[in-house]
């Protein structure tokens, strides 16, 4: 970061420390901070690294562009923000239609692809606003929320589930219906006013929410404040997290109220038997097995346990999962309570994606992984602690505990998606990708490598990764079939020419080479990509 922006960065650090020290701290004079020229320059530099974020001429360097033109534009923007005359332009709504057909608004079922391109001023203001909101709200966000937060990703949420879902019986798979379309502007503004006491800053947020969008480049459609929040803008993820932070707090309080630890109640009889155990342990060289066993049986009879209820909640954006160690009735009641609380926020649960699952018998799905408590654990030979000393210690078979949470890749779902993209047929048999047959051989290999790397990296922390061998087989032979369809030859000739890993030479004299990437599926290579924002492989261009 440039030294000119050090003042703005120091203010952000101070703002974060104040909110971290006092969770009920009220922030004031934020608008004075955002209209400063150095804060706008910091916001510009944050988006400057993104390709296509700003518009440059072909033969113009970025540094010269920033110094000559953008300096004047940022100064003009600072003045217009100061007198509150600046208003954000409506975003352009673009639909992707098929070639040869007119572009019409598509339904959600028809896989509408909506993109919004805010202009230069909107991006700079939103980027600066994002840094201020992160400094205020990141210290108070729940540790069980992982979506669209700096330093957190989907693997952080999955690793947290793997560490905390031991002993769970039921899981609530939850999905909030249309947070970007159904969120209420007035509720969002009231939530912001709890921690921000600055009318001008609040008015700026409302201006962005009510900016509207251009339908097919002509009509300006103003959004109903009771229906939608801004979607696909720079600040929309953190505004959604602020909105859903109320749900995180509600679930945290519910967990503390409902969770009952499995504490043992030590009666006087139990304490007496426990003292006898300690006496035998410290005062005898060889403890008789039968006598020890009788004492242990008596202790179990006198021991009383409370009813065990445990709840754990994890959220990523608008998807959440709740693990429950309790009864089915308790799980259904908790699901209804969550639905009632969301109604207070004018949100609803998606009935198709929200359900209660017994994860000891069936799989629950979260972040494109399937989760289950693996009860079929093989018994291992262990040496009892109180076994008699012999030359060969006596070993017994015992069921070991730990690592029972199984997070696996959904192979059938991946195969169906590959089928929809033209990599295979409905039964999983590889087919040529007809969209890539017109490209060069090396580009075909690179396209398949992007697909393989993104897919296998996304499932790098899952268990039973050897199931992904089927996916690699489909993509490998789909690549071979694509090359065969391009050159109109047999599959056998493709492997004879390019080898087992489909090595392709290219360049003016064939001096460069590329080959198909083969991922490692060893158990020792299993690792969660913690702290990284992984792209969803199902939404990539090549997948």
Which pair of structure tokens corresponds to residue 118? 């805010």
DSSP per position, 287-341: --HHHHHHHHHHHHHH-EEPPPBEEEEEEETTEEEEEEES-HHHHHHHHHHHHHH
pLDDT for the residue 227: 41
- Residues 523 and 435 placed together within one structural domain of the fold: yes
pLDDT for the residue 104: 45
Q: How far apart are CA 169 and CA 260, in angstroms?
A: 15
Residue 485, classified by CB atoms within 10 Å of its CB into exposed (0-12), middle (13-18) or buried (19+), is middle
Q: Give the model confidence (pLDDT) of 272-328 as tens digits.
A: 777 777 776 666 555 555 566 666 666 665 555 556 688 999 999 999 999 999 899
Report the sign of the C-alpha dihedral through residues 536, 539, 540, 543, in that order: positive
- Residues 279 and 355 placed together within one structural domain of the fold: no
Q: How far apart are CA 526 and CA 159, in angstroms?
A: 12
Enclosing H/E stretch for 65: helix 62-65
Q: How far apart are CA 226 and CA 100, in angstroms?
A: 38
Domain end among 377, 408, 439: 408
Residue 180, classified by CB atoms within 10 Å of its CB into exposed (0-12), middle (13-18) or buried (19+), is middle
The C-alpha torsion from 427 through 431 and 433 to 438, rounded to 10°, is -170
- Whether 38 and 8 have beta carbons less than 8 Å apart is answered as yes
pLDDT for the residue 281: 60
Q: How far apart are CA 19 and CA 27, in angstroms?
A: 8
Q: How far apart are CA 269 and CA 439, in angstroms?
A: 81
- Residues 130 and 173 placed together within one structural domain of the fold: no
- Of 521, 447, 512, the closest CA to residue 479 belongs to 447
Domain assignment of residue 252, yes or no: yes
Which pair of structure tokens corresponds to residue 350? 């998606």
Domain assignment of residue 355, yes or no: yes
- Of 209, 208, 189, the closest CA to residue 199 belongs to 189
- Residues 11 and 39 placed together within one structural domain of the fold: yes
Per the DSSP assignment, residues forming a β-bridge with 205 are none
- Residues 364 and 471 placed together within one structural domain of the fold: no
pLDDT for the residue 102: 44
pLDDT for the residue 512: 93
Q: Using a CB cutoff of 8 Å and minimum separation of 24, what contacts does 421-425 make?
A: 421/543, 423/474, 423/475, 423/478, 424/474, 424/478
- Residues 253 and 275 placed together within one structural domain of the fold: no
Q: Name residues whose C-beta falls within 8 Å of residue 193's C-beta, 6 or more positions apart in sequence.
A: 202
Which pair of structure tokens corresponds to residue 230? 């801004």
Low-confidence ranges of the chain (pLDDT < 50): 1-4, 55-62, 65, 96-118, 219, 224-229, 231, 262, 385-391, 541, 543
- Whether 476 and 468 have beta carbons less than 8 Å apart is answered as no
- Residues 380 and 440 placed together within one structural domain of the fold: no
Domain assignment of residue 484, yes or no: yes
- Residue range of the domain that includes 312: 144-180+215-224+231-262+308-386+401-408
Total number of domains in the chain: 4
pLDDT for the residue 170: 96
Domain assignment of residue 324, yes or no: yes
Q: What does DSSP say about strands 213-215 and 170-175: parallel, antiparallel, or unpaired?
A: unpaired
pLDDT for the residue 210: 85
Domain assignment of residue 149, yes or no: yes
- Residues 485 and 375 placed together within one structural domain of the fold: no
Residue 257 belongs to domain with CATH number: 3.30.70
Enclosing H/E stretch for 282: helix 268-283
pLDDT for the residue 103: 46
- Residues 338 and 246 placed together within one structural domain of the fold: yes
pLDDT for the residue 111: 38
Domain end among 357, 373, 408: 408
Tell me how crowded residue 203 is: count the other CB atoms within 10 A of its CB. 12
Q: Name residues whose C-beta falls within 8 Å of residue 214's C-beta, 6 or more positions apart in sequence.
A: 90, 91, 92, 93, 220, 221
Domain assignment of residue 35, yes or no: yes
- Whether 409 and 459 have beta carbons less than 8 Å apart is answered as yes
Which pair of structure tokens corresponds to residue 437? 């047959």
Domain assignment of residue 440, yes or no: yes
- Of 173, 180, 314, 169, the closest CA to residue 252 belongs to 314
The C-alpha torsion from 438 through 443 and 445 to 451, rounded to 10°, is -100
- Residues 441 and 503 placed together within one structural domain of the fold: yes
- Of 76, 10, 81, the closest CA to residue 42 belongs to 10
Side-chain half-sphere CA neighbours of 433 within 13 A: 25
Which pair of structure tokens corresponds to residue 218? 């002509």
- Residues 415 and 510 placed together within one structural domain of the fold: yes
- Residues 5 and 133 placed together within one structural domain of the fold: yes
Domain assignment of residue 496, yes or no: yes
Which pair of structure tokens corresponds to residue 462? 């899952």
Gyration radius from the chain CA atoms: 30
């Amino acid at each position: 970061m440039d030294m000119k922006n050090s003042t703005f960065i120091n203010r952000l650090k101070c703002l974060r420390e104040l909110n971290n020290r006092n969770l009920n701290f009220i922030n004031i004079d934020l608008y004075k901070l955002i209209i400063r020229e150095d804060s706008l320059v910091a916001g510009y530099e944050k988006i400057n690294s993104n390709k296509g974020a700003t518009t440059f001429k072909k033969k113009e360097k970025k540094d010269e562009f920033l110094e000559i033109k953008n300096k004047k534009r940022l100064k003009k923007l600072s003045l217009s923000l100061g007198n509150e005359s600046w208003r954000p332009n409506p975003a352009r709504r673009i639909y992707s239609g098929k070639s040869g057909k007119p572009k019409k608004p598509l339904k959600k079922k028809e896989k509408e692809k909506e993109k919004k391109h805010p202009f230069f001023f909107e991006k700079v203001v939103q980027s600066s606003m994002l840094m201020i909101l992160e400094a205020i709200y990141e210290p108070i966000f729940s540790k069980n929320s992982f979506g669209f937060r700096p330093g957190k990703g989907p693997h952080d949420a999955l690793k947290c589930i793997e560490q905390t879902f031991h002993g769970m019986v039921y899981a609530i798979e939850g999905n909030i219906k249309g947070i970007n379309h159904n969120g209420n502007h007035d509720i969002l503004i009231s939530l912001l006013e709890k921690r921000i006491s600055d009318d001008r800053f609040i008015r700026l947020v409302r201006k962005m929410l009510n900016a509207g969008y251009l339908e097919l480049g002509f009509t300006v459609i103003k959004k109903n404040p009771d229906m939608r929040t801004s979607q696909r803008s720079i600040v929309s993820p953190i505004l959604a997290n602020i909105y859903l932070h109320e749900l995180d707090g509600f679930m945290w309080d519910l967990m503390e109220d409902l969770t009952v630890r499995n504490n043992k109640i030590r009666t006087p009889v139990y304490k007496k038997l426990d003292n006898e155990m300690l006496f035998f342990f410290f005062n005898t060289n060889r403890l008789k097995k039968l006598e020890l066993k009788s004492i242990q049986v008596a202790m179990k009879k006198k021991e009383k346990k409370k009813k065990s209820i445990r709840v754990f909640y994890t959220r990523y954006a608008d998807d959440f999962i709740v693990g429950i160690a309790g009864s089915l009735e308790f799980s259904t009641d908790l699901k209804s309570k969550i639905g009632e609380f969301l109604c207070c926020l004018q949100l609803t649960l998606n009935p198709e994606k929200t359900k209660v699952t017994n994860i000891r018998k069936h799989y629950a799905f979260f972040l494109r992984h399937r989760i289950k408590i693996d009860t079929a654990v093989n018994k291992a030979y262990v040496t009892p602690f109180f076994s008699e000393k012999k030359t060969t210690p006596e070993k017994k078979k015992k069921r070991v505990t730990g690592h029972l949470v199984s997070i696996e890749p959904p192979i059938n779902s991946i195969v169906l998606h590959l089928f929809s993209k033209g990599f295979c047929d409905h039964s999983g048999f590889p087919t040529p990708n007809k969209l890539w047959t017109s490209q060069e051989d090396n580009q075909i290999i690179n396209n398949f490598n992007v697909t393989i790397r993104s897919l296998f990296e996304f499932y790098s922390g899952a268990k039973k990764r050897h199931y992904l061998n089927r996916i690699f087989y489909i993509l490998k032979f789909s690549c071979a079939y694509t090359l065969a369809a391009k050159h109109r030859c047999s599959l056998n000739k493709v492997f004879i020419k390019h080898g087992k890993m489909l090595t392709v030479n290219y360049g003016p004299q064939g001096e460069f080479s590329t080959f198909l990437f083969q991922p490692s599926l060893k158990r020792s290579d299993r690792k969660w990509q913690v702290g990284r924002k992984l792209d969803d492989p199902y939404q990539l261009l090549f997948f």
